[in-house]
Amino acid sequence: MNRLIFEKSVSGRRADNLPRLAPSEAGVKLRIPKKYYRDDEAALPELSELDVVRHFTNLSRKNFSVDGNMYPLGSCTMKYNPKVCEKIAALEGFSSLHPLLPQLRGGGMLTQGALEVLHETERLLSEIVGMDAFSLQPSAGAHGELTGMMLIAAYHRDKGNKKTKVIIPDSAHGTNPSSAAIAGFTVVSVPTGPDGDIDFAKYEAALDDEVAALMMTCPNTLGLFEKDILRIAELAHKRDALLYYDGANLNALLGRCRPGDLGFDVVHVNLHKTFATPHGGGGPGSGPVGVKARLVPFLPTSIVIKRNDGTYALEYEREKSIGYIAPFYGNFGIILRAYAYMLLLGREGLRRVSDNAVLNANYMQARLKGRYELPYDRRCMHECVFSAARQSLKGVHAIDLAKALVERGIHPPTVYFPLVVKEALMIEPTETESKEQMDEFIEVMLELADLADKDPGQFAAMPRNTPVGRLDEVKAAKDMRFKA
């Protein structure tokens, strides 16, 4: 039943309805010599428009989504994406705007509305996280990390510092060490201590004059607030090492505290998490980077400025800028949605986001901890991390619980991450789930814990009601079939 679109092709069928050439246009001879042409036709499918529409409509039905299912995927902040933001992003005055327009002489005035959106978004984000300036250019969280690491490298180079290392806790997202390495740094991993915070003594021991930065997620990926953060920052700053804030978990802190006040020098924010822009099946996201004043000279080109007369312009000439990390001004369509979301929620709304996100996660934690092992038993922030260690003694692993949840119509939590917890189940309900929905999830989780005790053999066949059952991943890697 899952025929590929290419397998539905019928020779001679067409959906396209392209403009016709005027005779005078068609009459001009193309001056492209034969050797420059392709000698085959690209084997794209031949279908009617209805064929195309049915194909993708039916495909869409094979997805779990926030709009259709509870989606408590830890670290991903799968909150509801307000529909009005989609409507705003589709406004013709934004969606049809060519990015090169403001680079034409006299063109800046043609894009004032778009430039205002960028400038105002930077201003709001700066206040929300306590930074002095923002660049909206990074296209995703990992892209923001890389930009941040490049800013830190530029800062140290400018000061004549010889720094080669970046400290990263072992609970960090894989993007952190990867981004640091791509920016040319050596990664020093520091373990997690017994209470789930970074092991302070080991951090202190790792901190020397060659350390350029410490990358942290706060709350960390265990969903725990780093209690020693102020001491950690103070020690780093004494050595002129900078603090980088991975904003993946910012949904816990809105209106309660600001990374800038905690001592962080560079921050990235995932607009597709905290600021409710849709995840798109894996993207596009947006990962703006905020900095404290001493890093402002290094921000990527271009920079949106507000002139004294109230108009907006783009500035390209900044001597110390790291240069071009994006072709233009960032994922504008995503930034626009996030801007709308910030306007909708405002000061009170954003604080309530975090209040309810944290309340919901703690409720989950309280209700489930009798049946699932809680490796770090303390108040969590916006997510809680359990382990399926007890269930795995019976042969039911985190992945089995995940597949059983799929069968029940619930998207599973993140499994096997963070790496520091064996059989991890990382649950992030977000503030947009209701208590009834969470209660349903909790009931299912408790039933599954019972089933794991009484009849663990049942799990292997799950899920039984999805378009396909458990797929053979080894075969996929072995066959290496990546196209029709």
Partner 1 sequence: MPYIPNTAADRSAMLKAIGVASVDELFADIPAKVRIGDLRIPEGRSESQVVDHLSRLAQSNVQNLTSFVGGGFYDHFIPACVDQLASRSEFYTAYTPYQPEASQGTLQAVFEYQTAICRITGMDVANASLYDGGTALYEAAMMAVRITGRKKIVLDSGVNPIYRNMLYCYTSNLAVDFQEIEVVHGQSDRHRIADALDENTAAIILQNPNFFGGVDDFSDIVELAHAKGCLAVVSAYPISLGLLKTPGAMKADIVTGEGQSLGLPLSFGGPYLGFMATRMEHVRKMPGRLVGQTEDAQGRRGFVLTLQAREQHIRREKAMSNICSNEALCALRALIYLSWLGRQGFRELARICAQKAEYAKTRLSAIPGVKVKESAPTFNEFTLELPCDARDAVSRLIDKGFAAGFPLGRYYKGMDNYLLVAVTEKRSREEIGHFAEALEGIL
Which parts of 151-210 interact with partner 1 (CB under 8 A)?
153-154, 173-175, 177-184, 187
Residue 166 parent element (H or E): strand 165-169
- Identify the residue among 193, 349, 375, 456 touching partner 1 (CB under 8 A): 349
Q: Which of residues 365-394 bind partner 1 (CB under 8 A)?
A: 365-367, 379, 381
Q: Which is nearer to partner 1, 203 or 412 (CB)?
A: 412
- Identify the residue among 131, 207, 353, 396 touching partner 1 (CB under 8 A): 353
- Identify the residue among 244, 332, 386, 459 touching partner 1 (CB under 8 A): 332
Contacts of 174 (CB under 8 A, 6+ apart): none
Total of chain residues touching partner 1, rule CB under 8 A: 212
| Inter-residue contact 222 to 194 (CB < 8 Å) | no
Q: Which of residues 248-307 bind partner 1 (CB under 8 A)?
A: 253-258, 261-262, 272, 276, 278-287, 300-301
Q: Which is nearer to partner 1, 30 or 454 (CB)?
A: 30
Strands ordered across the beta sheet of 266-269: 133-135, 289-291, 266-269, 242-247, 211-217, 165-169, 186-190
End-to-end CA distance of the chain: 16
Q: Which is nearer to partner 1, 2 or 308 (CB)?
A: 2
Q: Which of residues 13-42 bind partner 1 (CB under 8 A)?
A: 13-19, 21-22, 24-26, 28-33, 35-39, 41-42
Question: Closest approach of Cβ 404 to partner 1, in Å?
Answer: 11
CA-to-CA distance for 81 and 337, rounded, in angstroms? 9
Question: Any contact of residue 227 with partner 1 (CB under 8 A)?
Answer: yes
Question: Closest approach of Cβ 319 to partner 1, in Å?
Answer: 14
**How far from 471 is each of 256, 261, 404, 468, CA to CA, in Å?**
43, 47, 14, 7
Tell me the longest C-alpha to C-alpha distance in the chain.
Answer: 79
Nearest CA among 381, 380, 395 for reference residue 452 = 395
Question: Closest approach of Cβ 175 to partner 1, in Å?
Answer: 5
Question: Closest approach of Cβ 207 to partner 1, in Å?
Answer: 19
- Identify the residue among 165, 403, 404, 427 touching partner 1 (CB under 8 A): 403
3 state DSSP class of 115:
helix
Q: Which of residues 85-114 bind partner 1 (CB under 8 A)?
A: 86-101, 103-107, 109-114
Strand ranges inside 205-307, DSSP E: 211-217, 242-247, 266-269, 289-291, 303-306
